[in-house]
Amino acid sequence: MKANIMLLPGDGIGPEILTAAVQVLDKVASKYGHEFAYNEQLIGGIAIDKTGNPLPEETLRAGEQSDAILLASVGGPKWSDPSAPVRPEQGLLKIRGHFGLFANLRPVKTYPALAQHVPLRPDLLEGVDMLIVRELTGGLYFGERKEQGDGADSYDTMYYSVPEVERVAHVAFKAAQKRRGKLTSVDKANVLASMRLWRRTVVKVAEDYADVELDHVLVDACAMYLMTRPASFDVIVAENMFGDILSDEASVLAGSLGMLPSASLGSGTFGLYEPVHGSAPDIAGKGIANPIGQFLSAAMMLRHSLNLETEASAVEAAVDAVLDDGARTADIAVKGGATVGTAEFTQAVIAKL
């Protein structure tokens, strides 16, 4: 097949890990007889520096001509002032809204080979394999806000409509049907009106999925359960900010934030794929970044946007095999143990493919 993929390297380690992911995709293309065309564009801090806009119109137009978007990371100390009128993160919010990418899928699983990096008892990690579905274009991050500066009142609004909750709930229920048939809906219905609407709506959607077991957990309790009984979760669906925080917490279970991929999807096959981690400016340019989250994000792109399940599974299996062989980037290495750089790890994955 032929596919047009927009690349957004962004900032920090972004260009390094995205270059590595393209090398893996090129190996997939040559092995399975596909043709991937790439179009690199700007987003984030580098886009601010070059155009004054964290998401230039040219990037949006290029995305509209693409089958999928593969993004690396945005942000860094240079643009870290939270009161600045233009910030890299604004590019992420805008691109999600522009393309209607309302569901963010974040799979989390444990790797036995990396168990020593997880600050939990080994028995708690057995069988951990969950999918966090984060609502991505509503809630607290997109609600009405007011900020007047030092000493003035400010507010943010958590707003949800029934259709917004319904559509992400359907994504979560359908995912649960393909997994172990259990969905946990996270809210704060004991305090927030918007979250009572969330719970009522999820309960109503559940009527269409009799084969899925539904339970409701308050967000603070969920944060605790992720550390005390993580294997009990199958699929979790949560509001935008809650999902953001909980999925970062859950990354501890995988051994490193560098391990986790994500897919941002809308109503069709088009999607944006990015690792969960940030731009890691402290190691940018050193060639030591962990590319696994980017590789697994590329695998999710192959699966969800390009319908290439065999190829996606092959990339995931190659990553697992390289880890089983003992290759470790610095973030997942035993203290004092041998490490490999981004390029060496990439070549090992390509060799497994």
Q: Is 335 a catalytic residue?
A: no
**What's the confidence (pLDDT) of residue 151?**
65
Same fold, 1-111+256-353 and 119-145+155-254: yes
- Catalytic residue at 141? yes
Residue of 32, 248, 320, 352 marked catalytic = 248
CATH assignment of 119-145+155-254?
Answer: 3.40.718.10
Q: Map 256-320 to HEC letters.
A: CHHHCEEEEECCCCCEEEEECCCCCHHHCCCCCCCCHHHHHHHHHHHHHCCCCHHHHHHHHHHHH
The per-residue pLDDT for 168 is 98
* Closest by CA position to 118, among listed 342, 332, 340: 332
- Consecutive 10-residue runs of the chain (353 residues): their mean pLDDT? 97 98 98 98 97 98 98 94 90 94 96 86 92 96 84 89 98 97 98 98 98 98 97 97 94 90 96 95 96 98 97 97 95 88 98 98
The pLDDT score that the predictor gives to residue 153 is 87
pLDDT given for residue 335 in this prediction: 81
Fold annotation for 1-111+256-353: Isopropylmalate Dehydrogenase (3.40.718)
pTM, 2 dp = 0.92
The predicted structure's pLDDT at residue 89: 93
| pLDDT value at residue 256 | 87
Task: Name the residue among 158, 55, 49 with its Cα closest to residue 98.
Answer: 55
| DSSP state string for 328-343 | --GGGSPTT-----HH
* Sequence ranges of the domains in the chain: 1-111+256-353, 119-145+155-254
Q: Which residue has the tokens 């009405």?
A: 144
Our answer to whether residue 220 is catalytic in this structure is yes
pLDDT computed for residue 176 by the predictor: 98
Residue 244 annotated as catalytic? yes
**Residue 295: per-residue pLDDT:** 98
